[in-house]
Chain A
């Protein structure tokens, strides 16, 4: 195709060419080595996952494109994408994949890699803080409602210190600590 051809009429290709020099060929192996990443390479880009996704319309990169991008090695684009955090984790893509690619589980892997590089939405960092400080996402505030239902005002058996100690020593500790 000559330069003159490109200027006339609609583009022959509808997506921008991929810059091969920027690809990280190890990215796919990184994902494959993570939990549920085994079947990654089986993707044949049928886009059934995208058809199944109830919010694909608001995604710039559709689910099948993200999987493709992982295979190609577009590490930076995938790990910086909003899409991985918008994922509902409803597993409809994964349920319908004819190739048994664990699409939703792989997006969880991507989020962990993004988290390792501190690429986490502010609100999620906020939840991490809540988990580390309180040992739970919700605390009983309306104990009179519990008493109305003849329940003990405090949740029986609840003990949050061990939970807090565990996640303080894992990545959550780093994420929250790094914020302070």
Chain B
């Protein structure tokens, strides 16, 4: 049974307990042992990277160093945390001077960044370590081919030399549930979350463009694997009626919710009622 250091970050536990719970449940069913990391806090987000590179480097190196005490990889359900951790991991592997500088600080806590425990996104670990074949065996209520648009999230796709993530990973994971992956023009585009603190109007426009592109291409549902993207695509829909006079009614599900349902869990197991745009209609697409 593969074991992982589970790094939650701050957004999922605070805003998406349904994501956290659904992830833990599918992981358990599929034999992934996720253990909450001890003594960790925030990744700082891209905002910390922007204003305080060394601080951002150090806090994330610290998280990795804590994981290295047991040597298992880190998994996280958040694209932002993944990006911070993976970027720092990548950078410190290539920059000895910064590695020394960071380790001098970590030494006070008896920690050292070595670069053993790799930060990974939960969906990538699911795909690479469990595999589509094993997941397929657990699918008892496949979806009926309903169209789902994937919002991958920028920070898991790019920069690819750092993230080492490919879109096929997410596509295969959606297909195995029985759904059809909807190809849409703006699949690569940002949800707008990062610009929210400095220009809300612009952030809303980006979310709206994304939703428009998805629905026009025929998506009945959308899926994300990031709390910030979830906020933008799910929560922001509620305000679009006022700002744009547009209503999309596109339910946005966190990926483990879809997988969990296809594995036979019920809607309470995956916290479907917590999704902002009502997502209950996905139940009608499950087949026995």
Contacts and interface: CB of A to CB of B under 8 A. Distances in A.
Interface of A: 35, 54-55, 58, 85-92, 94-95, 102, 104-105, 108-109, 111-112, 115, 120-121, 123-124, 126-128, 131, 135-142, 145-146, 148-151, 155-160, 162-164, 166-167, 169-172, 175
Interface in B176-215: 188-190, 192, 194-195, 197-199, 202, 206, 209
B40 A158 contact: yes
Contact of A166 (B18, B105, B159): B105
B42 A162 contact: no
A55 B197 CA distance: 15
A175 B56 CA distance: 14
Contacts of B48: 128, 131, 167, 172
B99 to A, nearest CB: 12
Contact of B47 (A127, A135, A155, A169): A127
Interface string B46-73: 1111111111001100100000000000
Given A135-B42, A159-B41, A35 B91 contact: yes
B31 interface: no
Interface stretch (B9-17, B118-126, B216-224): B9-17
A149 B18 contact: yes
A23 B274 CA distance: 54
A106 to B, nearest CB: 12
A36 to B, nearest CB: 8
B51 A124 contact: yes
Contacts of B112: none
Contact of B195 (A55, A95, A160, A169): A55
B40 A138 contact: no
Given A86-B199, A90-B154, A138-B11, A163 B50 contact: no
A138 B10 contact: yes
A105 B50 CA distance: 10
B215 to A, nearest CB: 18
B41 A160 contact: yes
B44 A156 contact: no
A110 to B, nearest CB: 9
Contacts of A102: 159
Contacts of B157: 91
B109 interface: yes
29 contacts: A55-B202, A86-B199, A88-B206, A92-B158, A104-B159, A108-B50, A112-B50, A120-B51, A121-B198, A127-B47, A128-B48, A131-B44, A131-B48, A136-B10, A137-B10, A137-B45, A138-B14, A146-B13, A148-B17, A155-B10, A155-B13, A157-B37, A158-B13, A160-B41, A163-B62, A164-B41, A167-B58, A170-B52, A171-B54
B38 interface: yes
B137 interface: no
Nearest to B50: A111
Nearest to B20: A151
B51 A172 contact: yes
Closest 9 CB pairs of A and B: A91-B158, A170-B55, A163-B41, A90-B190, A149-B21, A136-B10, A138-B14, A136-B42, A156-B36
Contacts of B199: 86
Contacts of B59: 163, 166-167
B10 A145 contact: no
Contacts of A88: 154, 190, 192, 194-195, 206
A156 to B, nearest CB: 4
Nearest to B106: A166
A141 B14 contact: yes
A121 B47 CA distance: 11
A92 B188 contact: yes
A166 B51 contact: no
Contacts of B209: 54
B8 interface: yes
A126 B15 CA distance: 20
Interface string B102-121: 00010001000000000000
B245 interface: no
A155 B8 contact: yes
Given A92-B158, A95-B158, A167-B48, A162 B39 contact: yes
Contacts of B18: 149
Contacts of B284: none
A166 B55 contact: yes
